[in-house]
Amino acid sequence: MTETARVLVTGGYGCIGVQTVKWILANTNATVVVGSREVNAQRTQRLFDDDDCTRLKCVGLDVREQQQLKEVLTSNQITHVIHLAALQTPDCNANRDAGLQVNVAGTQNVIEAIKACRPSVQRFVFASSIAIYGPRSSYVDPKVPMLAEPAPVNVYGVWKLAGEDMSRLFCLETDIPTVSLRPGVLYGPGRDAGLTSTPTTAMKCVALEMPYEIPFRSRQDYLYASDVGAAFGNAALAPFSGYGVFTLPSHTVDTAEIVDTMRQAASETGLGANFGITIGTDDVPFICDLEYEPFLQVFPDTPHTPLATAIRESLEVFKVQRERGWLKR
């Protein structure tokens, strides 16, 4: 399948998008088309500096423009679509109209464009979110079932849940295999916005030899960005039929364990001399303890990197970025 696959990744300059593109280029023979509202050659080179870019193309694409989507799908002979383009929670809260147009109407535009391009498109993967769940206290089980009742607490979660339903109906209407993935709290290279990005900011500060305080001490599910990219790549290209919705492999730990692991990794990478990462007092009710085993049963080749290994690899990347003058807190 991957020998002739041509994969469109909307939102391909984002954290998950970049890691998804990297995984596809490194592990398949597929061609990747990155769609983004702003295409920048310098940024492309920086993001994919270590990758074989002979099978990579970046195009200007706004998911609010259905005709533009159709043109990109047809002119590039797209066979698989990974839809990641979305506004995140802070932007959705600040401008609900924009969030509605991108996250809901944009998803429907992608779906309608794919319908118009049948039968060339063979798989659709939609990026949902663990924001569709309620607070951890809403679920009494030690492990929150993957299909536990949704209870989103903000419009971002509501719109992601709507996107799942739109994707399910799309599959029923077209018989195109469709997967909705619910990534959670990412960490590692590329993560750079929002409250839950602060552990990654701490890793950057370790590489920069600067002090930093992570503001919360709560437990949450941590997902290594590289593993999430691999998950989306597998969901798009591995054998699958019908419709499925999945949460992704994670490690459930509190901030103290993250910092302890970071301290050890800093020592191993020669960055431990000025380690100055501390923890604040906030206790945030993040959803955590989410079941993810069903995803690995369906897509068993997806990596689930040990926490210590992932943090060490992240510090090594940030160390190189610092040496190249790219790294900012």
Residue 292 clears pLDDT 90, i.e. is over it: yes
Report the C-alpha gap between 231 and 253 in whole angstroms: 21
Report residue 196 CA to chain centroid gap: 13
Please give the pLDDT value at position 192.
76
Count Cα atoms within 13 angstroms, Cβ side, for 29.
4
Q: Is residue 150 situated within a structural domain?
A: yes
Please give the pLDDT value at position 7.
98
| pLDDT tens digits for range 144-192 | 999 999 999 999 999 999 999 999 999 999 999 999 999 988 999 888 7
Please give the pLDDT value at position 294.
97
Residue 126: band (very low, low, confident or very high) from pLDDT cuts 50, 70, 90: very high
Q: Which residue has the tokens 């380690």?
A: 275
Report the C-alpha gap between 214 and 5 in whole angstroms: 42
Residue 195: band (very low, low, confident or very high) from pLDDT cuts 50, 70, 90: low
Q: How many domains does the chain fold into?
A: 1
Q: How much is the average pLDDT of 119-137?
A: 94
Q: Is the pTM of this model over 0.75?
A: yes
Q: How much is the average pLDDT of 6-22?
A: 95
Q: Is residue 106 situated within a structural domain?
A: yes
Please give the pLDDT value at position 43.
85
Q: Fill in the DSSP letter of residue 278.
A: E
Residue 1 clears pLDDT 60, i.e. is over it: no
Q: CA angle, 17 as apex, 65 and 22 as ends, to 5°?
A: 135
Question: Per the omega criterion (within 30 degrees of 0), is the bond before 189 cis?
Answer: no
Pick the more confident residue, 195 or 277: 277
In order, the DSSP letters of 32-61 are: EEEEESS--HHHHHHHTTTS-GGGEEEEE-
Are the beta carbons of 161 and 150 closer than 8 angstroms? yes
Give the CATH number of the domain where residue 159 resides: 3.40.50.720
Q: Is residue 269 situated within a structural domain?
A: no
Q: How much is the average pLDDT of 69-81?
A: 96
Coil, strand, or helix at residue 214? strand
Q: Is residue 316 situated within a structural domain?
A: no
Residue 239 clears pLDDT 50, i.e. is over it: yes
Counted residue by residue, the chain has a size of: 329
Distance of CA 55 to CAs 39, 115, 116, Å?
A: 17, 25, 25
Pairing of strands 251-254, 219-224: antiparallel
Residue 284: band (very low, low, confident or very high) from pLDDT cuts 50, 70, 90: confident
Closest CA to 323 of 207, 236, 182, 222: 207
Q: Is residue 42 situated within a structural domain?
A: yes
Q: Is residue 11 situated within a structural domain?
A: yes
Are the beta carbons of 247 and 311 closer than 8 angstroms? no
CB atoms within 10 A of CB 66: 18
Q: Is residue 272 situated within a structural domain?
A: no
By CB neighbour count within 10 A (0-12 exposed, 13-18 middle, 19+ buried), where does 205 fall?
A: buried
Q: Which domain holds residue 33?
A: 6-187+223-249+286-305
| pLDDT tens digits for range 26-60 | 999 999 999 999 888 888 888 888 888 899 999 99
Closest CA to 106 of 34, 154, 167: 167
Please give the pLDDT value at position 118.
81
Residue 3 clears pLDDT 60, i.e. is over it: no
Coil, strand, or helix at residue 243? strand
Q: Is residue 160 situated within a structural domain?
A: yes
Mean pLDDT, rounded, of the chain: 93
Residue 128 clears pLDDT 90, i.e. is over it: yes
Which pair of tokens denotes residue 20?
A: 């998804």
Residue 109 clears pLDDT 50, i.e. is over it: yes
Specify the range with the lowest mean pLDDT, choosing from 81-85, 248-252, 271-275, 294-298.
271-275
